[in-house]
Amino acid sequence: MTWLEKNIKKKSYIWDIVAFIIVMGLVTLLAWGSRLMSVPYTFGEQIPLSLDPVHLPLYALRTVLRMVSALIISFAFTFIYATIAAKSRRAESILVPFLDILQSVPILGFLSITVTGFIAMFPGNLLGVEMASIFAIFTSQAWNMAFSFYQSLKTVPKELQEASDLFGLSSWQKFWKLEAPFATPNLIWNTMMSVSGGWFFVVASEAITVGKTSVTLPGIGSYVAQAIQSKNLPAIGYALLTMLIVILVYDQLLFRPLVAWAEKFKFELTESQDSAESWILTLFQRAHLLRSLTRKMGKQWTVFIERLPKLPRHTLKFKESSSLVMRLQGVTWYGILISGMAFGAWMLISFITSGVNHSEIFGVFMLGLITFARVFVLLILASVIWVPIGVIIGLNPRLANRVQPLAQFLAAFPANLFFPIAVFILLRYHLSPEIWTAPLMILGTQWYILFNVIAGASAIPTDLREAAQNFGLSGWRLWKHLLLPGIVPPLLTGLITASGGTWNASIVAEVVSWGSTTITATGLGSYIAHWTDKGDYPHIVLGVAVMSLYVVIFNRFFWRRLYTISQTRFRLD
Amino acid sequence: MNILHPENELLNLKNISKSFKKSGGEEHLVLEGVSLTIREGEIVALLGRSGSGKSTLLRIISGLARPGKGDVLYCGKPVTGPVKGLAMVFQTFALFPWFTVLENVELGLDAMGVPQEDKRRRALAAIDLIGLDGFESAYPKELSGGMRQRVGFARALVVEPTLLLMDEAFSALDVLTAETLRTDLIELWLERRIPTKGILLVSHNIEEAVLLADRIVILGTNPGTILAEIRIPMEYPRDREAPAFRQLVDEVYGLMTQRPRNAADKAEAVPLSYRLPSVHIYQMAGLMEALAGEPYNGKADLPELADQMGFSVEQLFPLLEALEILLFARTEGGDIELTPSGKSFVDADILQRKVIFAEHVIRHVALAAHIRRVIDERPSNRAPEDRFLRELEDFFSEDEAKRVLQVAIEWGRYAEHFAYEEGAGILSLENPASLTAQ
C-alpha cells in the first residue's frame, strides 16, 4: 500500500465519522421536532410565543419541519399524478389542464379556504392547523413539480423505450430504470425552485386569522407576526438572520447534494464542462463505511425483490379492443366529465351568490384590474432595472459566478419578512399606500428576472459577441442588435415565474400592518385578505376565482404567445 | 458449439403491409406485401433508402409494432408483442446513461428475473466476449462511440438471442471503428461462440451488406416492397478489393438506383405526392461540379464516386434522386451521367444558375409549381404554409409533409419563385427588400 492510498483510507474513516454524526443529528432533530407537532390544542387557545431570540432556533426547526413534510407529500403527489397523466391518454386530457388551472389559483387563497376544514379534521389537536399550513406549502410546490415530471415522462427518448420493451422490462421496472431516472434532473431543479417559493408561504401561513379563528403556529413567520404586533424592530432583525441561516443550511445540506447527484441522470452522452459540485455529497461518497453499508443495503434490497413472486415475462400485447367498447368508454368518460363540470359551475355560482350581491361581482373584477395594472407595471419596472444590470453581470463570467448564487438565494428568501421594515418606512414618511405597497409585491420575485437574465447573458455565444465587435457594434446598437434579442427567452422565463409570484404576493402585500396601524391598498389582493380576516367564505371564493381567472387569461393570451414567439425567433442554438 | 439446422425457419414474414393514419383519416401505405424468410445459420441484410420502411419492418419483426396486414411468425409462432429470444442493437446505441456498462448489460437479464449471482456471471462473460473487460464500472458517457456500441452488442448477446436484429448498428461509427466491430462480430459468429442462430441487419451501406450477409434483400420506396434478393455465395472473410466483390457491389448499386417508373426519361414533373429528397441546392451544385470535372468528365461509376467523395449511401442517394428529378443528371446501371442542362448549370455564373434552376424547379416539381400558382391566384399574393401542409397530409404523415414542404420551399426560395416568412409561416411574392423595410 502506497503512502497515498494509506492516507486516503485513513481519511475515509474520518469522513465516516463526520457523515454519521451529521445524519444522526438530523434524524434526532427531526424526531424531536415532529413530536411537538401533535400536541393537544384547544380551539382558540393562544400558543405562547416569546420574542426572546433564544427560542428562535426551535421556531426555525418547526418551520423547517413543515417544509420537509410538504416536500415529501409533494413528491408523492408528483409521482402518482404525473404518472397517471402521462400513461393514460384519457386521464391526460383532463389532468393536465387541471394542473394548469391549479397553478394559477393563488396559494394563500387555498389557505384561507381550507384552514377551518383541517382544524375540524383533528379536533383538540394542533395537528389540524399544522396540516393547513403544510397544505398551503404543498400547493405552492406540487403543481410545478408534477408538471415537470409529466413533461419528462412524455419526452423519454424513443429508442430507450424500445430497448426496454424489447428486453421485456415490466412497467414497474421500466418506471424505476428508465422513466424516473430520466425525469430526475428536471424534477430536482423544479423542486429547488418550488421550495424557494415555499419559504414565502410557510412564513405567511404560520399566523392565520380566519373569522374568529386566529391561529399561531410556532415558527419564524409567527415570530415576525408577533414582533409586528409589539413593534419590536430588533426581533425582526433576529428573525431575518435566522431565516438566512436556515435557507443556507437547507441549500447546502439538501439541494446542493441533490443537484450534484442528479448530474448522473442527465441524458447526455458527453461529459459537461461545468458540473455541479457539493461538498456534502463528496463527503458522503468518500465515507468508506457508509458507502459499503449503503451498497450492502442495496444488495439486500435486490435479494428481497427477487424473493417476491415473479411476474410472468412482460408480454406487451397489441391492444385489441373493439371500436364499440371504446366508443362506449368514451361516451361514459365524457358524460362524467360534463356532469362534473356542470356540478362544479353550479356549486361555484350558487355558493358565491348565497353571500354576495350580483352588483358586487363587477366591482371585484374592477379590483382585479387594479391589481393587474400593479403587477404589469411592476414587471416592466423590474425589467427596466434588472435587465441592464443582469446583462452586464452576465457578460462578465467571474462576476456572474459570484452574483448568481446570491440572486438565487434572494429569490428563496421570504420577502414578507421584510414587509414590517417597509411599513415602518411608509409610516415614517407618510407615503401613499396605493403606490408604495406595490413594490412589496415584487420584492421577492424580482430576483427571478435577475438570475434568468444573468444566465441568458452569459449564454450569448462568444462568436456572436466577437462578430459584433468585428463590425464595430457598440453602445445602443450592440444592445439593440445582440444583447437584448439574445436574452429574450430567459427573460421571459423569469418574467413568467415572477408574474405568478407577484399575483400571489398581492394578498399579503396589499394589506400590511405595524403594531395596531394597518395600511391597505385598493386591489383584489386586499379584497381577499379583508374577507379572509372576516371569515366570509362566499367573498373569499369569489375573490380567489376572479384572481385565478385573471392569471389564467394573462398566461394564455399573453405569456404563452410571447413565449412561443421567443422560442422560434430568439433561440440561440 | 451449437449445431445449426438450415431447414428450420427462424422468422417468417407473410405478405406484410403497414400503413399510417394521416390527419384526414386516410391511410398512407409504408410497406406492401413484404414476404421474407430467415433460416437458421443465415445473415440477411435488408437494404433500402430512407423512407423505404425498413425501420418499420424491423419494428414489426421485433414485435414493437403491429403489421397492418399479414403475419409474422417467429420460430413458427405468431408474434403479438416483444418476443423472448429476439434482441436488437440500435443505431443510437440506446444505452441508459445513468447505468454503468455492467448494469446496462444486465438490463435484459433483469427483465427475465435471472438470480443476482447468475446475472452477474453472465453479464461479465458477455462483457468479456465483446472485449470490454476493464470497463465494467464505466458510464457510457466515458466511452467512445465504438465502445458504446460494444456495450450495445453485449447487452443484446447476454440474453442469448436466437435472432439478432441490427438497426443500422454501425452507421453512427467512424469507418475504422465500424470495420473492427464488424470483423469481431463475424468472428464470433463464424466460430460459433455466440448461441445466436440468425442475424438480420438493416443497413443503407451497400459494402457493409455485401461484406456480412449471405443474402441481401432490397426494399424499394413508396411503398416499401421487396425489389430484389441477391445471394452472396462468398467465403468469409471477404476481400473488398476482389473483382467478384466489386461486381456484386456494382450490381446492388444498379438495383437500388433503378426507378420504378422512368421519370428520368420523360420531361414530366414529379407529382405532389412525391417525397422530395432533403437536399440543399449547394450540395447538388457541388456534386454536379465534381461530375463535370476531372476525372469523370460528366460520367461516373457510383461506388467509385461515393468512395472518392467520402459519401455514404444515405448521403449520396437523395442527391442522385434530386438531380434526376430536376433532370440535371441520369443514373443507369450503377452509373451517373450529367444531362446537357446539368452541364450548362455547371458552366453558368451565380445569377444564371438561379435562372436555370428556377426553370427546372417549376417544370419538374409539381409542388413548387402548385405553390406558385396558388400565390399568383390570390389577390393578396400571400398564402399560409398550413394550406399546403394540409394538402400534403393527404399523402404523407404530418412530419413527412412538413419535411417535403420545407424542401419545396427551400428550392422555390432559391429560385426566387416565392418568398417565405418562417415565423409567420407565410408564403408570398414579396421580395425580401420590402420585408426588412417593415
SS3 of residue A181 by DSSP: helix
Q: What is the 3-state secondary structure (H, E, C) of chain B?
A: CCCCCCCCEEEEEEEEEEEEECCCCCEEEEEEEEEEEEECCEEEEEEECCCCCHHHHHHHHCCCCCCCEEEEEECCEECCCCCCCEEEECCCCCCCCCCCHHHHHHHHHHHHCCCHHHHHHHHHHHHHHCCCCCCCCCCHHHCCHHHHHHHHHHHHHCCCCCEEEEECCCCCCCHHHHHHHHHHHHHHHHCCCCCCCEEEEEECCHHHHHHHCCEEEEEECCCEEEEEEEECCCCCCCCCCCHHHHHHHHHHHHHHHCCCCCCCCCCCCECCCCCCCCCCHHHHHHHHHHHHCCCCCCEEEHHHHHHHHCCCHHHHHHHHHHHHHCCCEEEECCEEEECHHHHHHHHCCHHHHHHHHHHHHHHHEHHHHHHHHHHHHCCCCEEEHHHHHHHHCCCCCHHHHHHHHHHHHHHHHHCCCCEEECCCCEEECCCHHHHHHC
Cell of B75: 420460430
pLDDT band at A386 (very low <50, low <70, confident <90, very high): very high
**Can you tell me the distance from the alpha carbon of A418 to that of A446, in angstroms, rounded to the nearest whole number?**
14
* CATH annotation of B281-346: 1.10.10.10
A218-232 core/surface letters (b: 16 or more CB in 10 A; e: else): bbbbbbbbbbbeeeb
CB A134 within 8 A of CB A86: no
| Type of residue numbered A204 | A
Highest mean pLDDT among A70-79, B74-83, B171-180, B376-385: A70-79
pLDDT at B154: 94
A159-172 core/surface letters (b: 16 or more CB in 10 A; e: else): bbbbbbbbbbbbee
CB B38 within 8 A of CB B163: yes
In chain B, what's the furthest Cα-to-Cα distance?
A: 77
pLDDT at A302: 59
**CATH pick for B9-257 out of 3.40.50.920, 3.40.50.300, 1.20.1050.10, 1.10.540.10:** 3.40.50.300
Task: Choose among A166, A310, A314: nearest Cβ to B64.
Answer: A166
| Type of residue numbered A382 | A
**Can you tell me the distance from the alpha carbon of B356 to that of B347, in angstroms, rounded to the nearest whole number?**
11
Tens digits of residue pLDDT in A396-441: 888 888 888 888 788 888 888 888 888 888 888 888 888 888 888 8
| Helices A397-412 and A180-205: angle between axes, nearest 10 degrees | 60
pLDDT at A7: 47
pLDDT at B104: 92
**Can you tell me the distance from the alpha carbon of B141 to that of A183, in angstroms, rounded to the nearest whole number?**
18
Highest mean pLDDT among A107-116, B199-208, B218-227: B199-208
Model ipTM over 0.90: no
Q: Positive or negative CA dihedral for A357, A358, A359, A363?
A: positive
Kindly determine whether residue B111 and residue A565, on different chains, have CB atoms separated by under 8 Å: no
Task: Choose among B81, B112, B139: nearest Cβ to A315.
Answer: B81
Q: Is the pLDDT of residue B240 over 70?
A: yes
Domain boundaries, chain B: 9-257, 281-346
Tens digits of residue pLDDT in B34-47: 999 999 999 999 98
pLDDT at A11: 52
Kindly determine whether residue B96 and residue A316, on different chains, have CB atoms separated by under 8 Å: no
pLDDT band at A330 (very low <50, low <70, confident <90, very high): confident
Which residue, A433, A442, A431, is CA-closest to A519?
Answer: A433
pLDDT at B200: 94
**Can you tell me the distance from the alpha carbon of A40 to that of A222, in angstroms, rounded to the nearest whole number?**
19
B chain contacts of residue A314, beta-carbon cutoff 8 Å: 82, 111
A363-379 core/surface letters (b: 16 or more CB in 10 A; e: else): ebeebbebbbebbeebb
Q: Is the pLDDT of residue B413 over 80?
A: yes
Q: Positive or negative CA dihedral for A248, A254, A259, A263?
A: positive
CB A205 within 8 A of CB A111: yes
Task: Choose among A168, A318, A568: nearest Cβ to B84.
Answer: A168
Query: Higher pLDDT residue, A151 or A288?
Result: A151
Q: Is the pLDDT of residue B264 over 50?
A: no
**Can you tell me the distance from the alpha carbon of A284 to that of A294, in angstroms, rounded to the nearest whole number?**
11
Mean pLDDT of B17-32: 74
Q: Positive or negative CA dihedral for A508, A509, A515, A516?
A: negative
H/E element, A355: helix A323-355
Tens digits of residue pLDDT in B168-192: 899 888 888 888 999 999 999 998 8
**Can you tell me the distance from the alpha carbon of B117 to that of B123, in angstroms, rounded to the nearest whole number?**
10
Q: Is the pLDDT of residue A311 over 60?
A: no
DSSP A83-122: HHHHH-HHHHHHHHHHHHHHHHS-HHHHHHHHHHHHHHHS
**Can you tell me the distance from the alpha carbon of B396 to that of B203, in angstroms, rounded to the nearest whole number?**
23
Most A CBs within 10 A among B103, B107, B114, hence the mutation to make, goes to B107
pLDDT more than 70, % of chain B:
94
Tens digits of residue pLDDT in A25-59: 676 776 666 666 666 666 556 666 778 888 888 88
Find the closest chain A residue to B117 by CA distance: A303
B chain contacts of residue A310, beta-carbon cutoff 8 Å: 113
Task: Give B39→chain A minimum CA distance, Å.
Answer: 21
B108 in contact with A, Cβ within 8 Å: yes
**Can you tell me the distance from the alpha carbon of A167 to that of A427, in angstroms, rounded to the nearest whole number?**
70
Which residue, B266, B323, B317, B267, is CA-closest to B291?
Answer: B323
Q: Is the pLDDT of residue A481 over 80?
A: yes
Task: Give B257→chain A minimum CA distance, Å.
Answer: 30
- Helices within A38-88 (DSSP H only): 56-87
Which residues, in sequence order, are bridge partners of residue B201?
Answer: B45, B166
**Can you tell me the distance from the alpha carbon of A294 to that of B211, in angstroms, rounded to the nearest whole number?**
49
Kindly determine whether residue B82 and residue A166, on different chains, have CB atoms separated by under 8 Å: yes
Distance of CA B78 to CAs A229, A317, B12, B19, B58, Å? 78, 12, 9, 20, 15
CB B84 within 8 A of CB B164: no
B142 in contact with A, Cβ within 8 Å: yes
**Can you tell me the distance from the alpha carbon of A527 to that of A425, in angstroms, rounded to the nearest whole number?**
24
Cβ partners under 8 Å of residue A62, min gap 6: A33, A36, A37, A217, A218, A219
Residue with cell 435486490: A302
**Can you tell me the distance from the alpha carbon of A497 to that of B131, in angstroms, rounded to the nearest whole number?**
51
CB A538 within 8 A of CB A355: yes
Q: Is the pLDDT of residue B260 over 80?
A: no
pLDDT at B436: 42
Q: Is the pLDDT of residue B27 over 80?
A: no
Tens digits of residue pLDDT in B94-120: 999 888 999 999 988 888 888 888 999
Q: Positive or negative CA dihedral for A215, A219, A225, A229?
A: positive
* pLDDT averaged over every residue in chain A: 81
Mean pLDDT of B59-85: 87
Mean pLDDT of B30-35: 88
Residue with cell 438570475: A451
Mean pLDDT of A302-306: 58
Q: Is the pLDDT of residue B309 over 90?
A: no
The conformational region for residue B204 under phi > 0 = left, psi -120 to 50 = alpha, else beta, is alpha
**Can you tell me the distance from the alpha carbon of A108 to that of A529, in angstroms, rounded to the nearest whole number?**
9
Q: Which domains does chain A have, with CATH numbers?
A: 1-37+278-316 (no CATH), 40-269 (1.10.3720.10), 356-573 (1.10.3720.10)
A chain contacts of residue B88, beta-carbon cutoff 8 Å: 162-163, 166
Name the phi and psi angles at B328, rounded to 5: -95, -20
**Can you tell me the distance from the alpha carbon of A13 to that of A18, in angstroms, rounded to the nearest whole number?**
9
Which residue, B312, B341, B313, B305, is CA-closest to B325?
Answer: B341
SS3 of residue A207 by DSSP: strand
Highest mean pLDDT among A112-121, A168-177, B180-189: B180-189
pLDDT band at A298 (very low <50, low <70, confident <90, very high): low
Range with lowest mean pLDDT among A290-294, A358-362, A397-401, B125-129: A290-294
Task: Give B137→chain A minimum CA distance, Å.
Answer: 14
CB B288 within 8 A of CB B328: yes
**Can you tell me the distance from the alpha carbon of B106 to that of A296, in angstroms, rounded to the nearest whole number?**
19
Residues 24-63 of B with CB under 8 A from A: 59, 62-63
pLDDT at A39: 64
**Can you tell me the distance from the alpha carbon of A283 to that of A278, in angstroms, rounded to the nearest whole number?**
9
Which residue, A374, A439, A503, A498, is CA-closest to A108?
Answer: A503
Distance of CA A282 to CAs A260, A398, B40, Å? 9, 24, 53
**Can you tell me the distance from the alpha carbon of B376 to that of B388, in angstroms, rounded to the nearest whole number?**
14
Kindly determine whether residue A310 and residue B113, on different chains, have CB atoms separated by under 8 Å: yes
Distance of CA A503 to CAs A64, A524, A528, B188, B223, Å? 25, 10, 12, 66, 56
B chain contacts of residue A269, beta-carbon cutoff 8 Å: 97, 140-141, 148
H/E element, A208: strand A207-210
Q: Is the pLDDT of residue A315 over 60?
A: no
Mean pLDDT of A205-216: 73
pLDDT at A342: 84
Burial of A472 (0-12, 13-18, 19+ CB in 10 A): exposed
Mean pLDDT of A501-530: 87
Mean pLDDT of B122-143: 91
B180 in contact with A, Cβ within 8 Å: no
pLDDT at A4: 45
**Can you tell me the distance from the alpha carbon of B54 to that of B47, in angstroms, rounded to the nearest whole number?**
8
**Can you tell me the distance from the alpha carbon of A209 to that of A534, in angstroms, rounded to the nearest whole number?**
8
